């Protein structure tokens, strides 16, 4: 670093500021923590002591290291104590006027060569800098919560930030063991610009009573591998903070997807701020607790769904990867399965696929030869749909083509016995269209398994306006019987998971298209900053850009949300045949690796 940064001031010792102070002290830097009064200081000190004690209890911090760490932090209510620090990180409330006032005071106190940094997650660093006498020394240093754990930092440069100031901020982040990415001054930067539109959409989905809070959160955890569901994450962030970030983004870009969902404003006004207040979308044992406790809307364990229709014999139509996985799921759970394919070769391929899957499980000690024999013994393959005449439920897993599905459902209506449930695994097509092709729309439902079906726990159970209540309850109970977690939702494009996931992926493509950040930086931001299992471009290349484009087009046609119009860059890649891993080239070139 060009500057020697040995002492850092942290203004604001809330959850974020306390975490930043701990990180700095952990890496040998002397810290001066400043807050408005003794009570705030005591809270910040307590937060740091509790965090470090927990690390010590877990063996991640030796007792002498903890003592030394705590000894590097001084606490004061006097901003003038920062006169000789090398850098100040502001972490006060996310309100522009408050931050500007802090920076104007700091401007009169610190040395001219000291760096002033804001931990803002969405506000304009340029506006903050412009209120100071030396705007060139002001940058954003956006840590993620909890700062001692999260490895990502966004270094935000303004149009007037001095290059050496930006370089020194990056070097400091690296010294702290973080992975910094330098970005321009745009509301939300990378991570929050992508994250909060998704969170806002989830809040709107809940407000519209499309799905319960539990089902929305379970869908994203189990369907996408996210560490937290969106509503639980909003409670962790703080609904007041989320509202301010969204409002800031909306005022800058005027996109409707950033206009805070009305329920957020209502909850903030009512003081339901999430974990910090003990109540948000969920209810907690006490303020700042992570322990969720039952409340008036918590589902009762006594209300577990029951099999209202007898399910003994299961039918599956299809022989692809998804169909084979579904056959295995039911057979492993003890159900006899009749599956139908177009040719003997394809039918035999399903058995071979399941046998290979079981062999892999046996080699890993997760299954036995006897179990393999039992599972294969429950399978009956056929090339004739008439073999499904006696099944109690048939699950369709054929091509995602509405005309093909309609023809199948008309035929299933003719073949299957009265009272048999007809289910489709479609991920985006209207279930009601399949139902309307039959004379028994009350018996038709969506069962959207996720790939690979034997591994993924989630099933979206999609009821249409015509689906009978006993069918919905039976399918939910059946999912539990085969070891799956069912979430219930209505019949609209994308259901829960794809409706929340693909607008976020589309936003990432538009961010890349605008040259705001590279694909690598965006992926790093979302993996490290938000703890997602894959970055958006990694995921797009795995899913297939053609599949992603088709889903985004379906969502756009149904909801007519301008911000969801597929990014031209994605359309161009698909037109060029750059579909992702399956073609060797997508957002990244796999053929050369």
H or E element at residue 396? strand 393-396
Token pair belonging to 554:
């379906």
Of the candidates 360, 319, 321, 357, the residue with the CA atom closest to the CA atom of residue 337 = 319
Residue tagged 């206009």 (tokens):
259
For this structure, is 142 an active site residue? yes
Of the candidates 283, 276, 278, 239, the residue with the CA atom closest to the CA atom of residue 261 = 239
59 within 8 A of 86, measured Cβ to Cβ? no
Query: How far is residue 185 from each of residues 107, 135, 141, 446, 515, measured CA to CA in Å?
Result: 21, 13, 11, 44, 13
Could you count the other beta carbons within 10 Å of the beta carbon of residue 581? 15
230/196 Cα distance (integer angstroms): 9
Query: Which runs of E-coded beta strand occur in 29-184?
Result: 30-34, 73-76, 87-90, 115-118, 138-143, 152-157, 179-184
Choosing from 118, 124, 142, 258, which is the catalytic residue? 142
587 within 8 A of 549, measured Cβ to Cβ? no
Could you count the other beta carbons within 10 Å of the beta carbon of residue 220? 26
Helices 262-269 and 239-253: crossing angle in degrees, nearest 10, is 140
Pairing of strands 393-396, 313-317: parallel
202 within 8 A of 219, measured Cβ to Cβ? no
Residue 449, SS3 per DSSP:
strand
For this structure, is 545 an active site residue? no
Choosing from 51, 118, 119, 121, which is the catalytic residue? 121
Choosing from 22, 94, 154, 538, which is the catalytic residue? 154
Sheet with 138-143, side-by-side order of all strands: 73-76, 30-34, 7-11, 87-90, 115-118, 138-143, 152-157, 179-184
Pairing of strands 444-449, 421-424: parallel
Query: Which runs of E-coded beta strand occur in 206-347?
Result: 283-284, 292-293, 313-317, 336-340
Pairing of strands 152-157, 138-143: antiparallel
Choosing from 51, 118, 192, 428, which is the catalytic residue? 192
For this structure, is 121 an active site residue? yes
Cite the active site residues.
121, 142, 154, 192
């Amino acid at each position: 670093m060009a500057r020697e940064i040995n002492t850092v001031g942290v203004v604001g010792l809330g959850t974020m500021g306390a975490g930043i102070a701990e990180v700095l002290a952990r890496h040998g830097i002397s810290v001066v923590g400043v807050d408005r009064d003794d009570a705030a200081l005591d809270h910040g000190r307590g937060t740091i002591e509790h965090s470090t004690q927990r690390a010590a209890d877990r063996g991640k911090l030796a007792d002498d290291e903890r003592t030394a760490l705590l000894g590097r932090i001084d606490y004061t209510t006097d901003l003038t104590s920062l006169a000789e620090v090398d850098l100040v990180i502001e972490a006060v409330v996310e309100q522009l006027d408050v931050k500007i006032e802090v920076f104007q005071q700091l401007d009169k106190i610190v040395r001219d060569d000291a760096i002033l940094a804001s931990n803002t997650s969405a506000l304009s660093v340029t506006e903050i800098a412009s209120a100071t006498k030396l705007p060139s020394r002001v940058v954003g240093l956006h840590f993620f919560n909890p700062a001692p754990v999260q490895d990502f930092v966004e270094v935000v440069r303004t149009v007037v930030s001095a290059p050496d100031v930006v370089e020194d901020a990056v070097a400091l982040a690296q010294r702290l063991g973080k992975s910094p990415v330098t970005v321009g001054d745009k509301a939300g930067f990378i991570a929050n610009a992508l994250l909060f539109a998704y969170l806002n959409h989830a809040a709107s989905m809940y407000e519209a009573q499309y799905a319960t809070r539990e089902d929305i959160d379970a869908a994203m955890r189990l369907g996408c591998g996210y560490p937290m569901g969106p509503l639980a994450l909003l409670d962790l962030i703080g609904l007041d903070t989320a509202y301010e970030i969204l409002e800031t983004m909306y005022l800058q870009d005027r996109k409707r997807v950033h206009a805070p969902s009305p329920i957020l404003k209502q909850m903030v006004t009512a003081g339901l701020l999430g974990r910090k207040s003990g109540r948000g979308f969920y209810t907690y044992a006490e303020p700042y607790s992570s322990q969720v406790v039952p409340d008036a809307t918590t589902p009762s364990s006594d209300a577990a769904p029951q099999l209202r229709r007898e399910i003994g014999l299961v039918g599956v139509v299809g022989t692809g990867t998804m169909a084979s996985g579904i056959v295995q799921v039911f057979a492993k759970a003890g159900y006899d399965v009749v599956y139908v394919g177009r040719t003997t070769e394809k039918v035999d391929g399903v058995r071979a696929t399941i046998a290979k899957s079981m062999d892999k499980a046996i080699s890993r000690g997760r299954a036995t030869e006897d179990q393999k024999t039992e599972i294969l013994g429950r399978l009956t393959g056929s090339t004739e749909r008439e073999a499904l005449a006696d099944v109690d439920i048939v699950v369709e897993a054929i091509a995602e083509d509405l005309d093909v599905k309609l023809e199948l459902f008309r035929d299933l209506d003719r073949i299957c016995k009265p009272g048999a449930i007809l289910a489709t695994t479609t991920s985006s097509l209207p279930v009601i269209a399949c139902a309307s092709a039959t004379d028994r729309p009350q018996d038709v439902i969506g069962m959207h398994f996720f790939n690979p079906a034997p591994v993924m726990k989630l099933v979206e159970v999609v009821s249409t306006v015509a689906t009978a209540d006993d069918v919905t309850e039976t399918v939910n109970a059946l999912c539990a019987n085969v070891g799956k977690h069912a979430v219930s939702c209505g019949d609209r494009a994308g259901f829960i998971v794809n409706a929340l996931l693909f607008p976020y992926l589309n936003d990432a493509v538009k961010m890349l298209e605008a040259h705001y950040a590279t694909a690598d930086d965006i992926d790093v931001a979302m993996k490290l900053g938000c703890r997602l299992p894959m970055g958006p471009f990694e995921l797009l290349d795995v899913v297939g850009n053609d599949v992603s484009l088709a889903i985004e087009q379906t969502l756009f046609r149904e909801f007519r949300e301008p911000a969801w119009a597929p990014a031209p860059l994605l359309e161009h890649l698909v037109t060029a045949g750059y579909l992702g891993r399956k073609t060797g080239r997508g957002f990244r070139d796999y053929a050369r690796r």
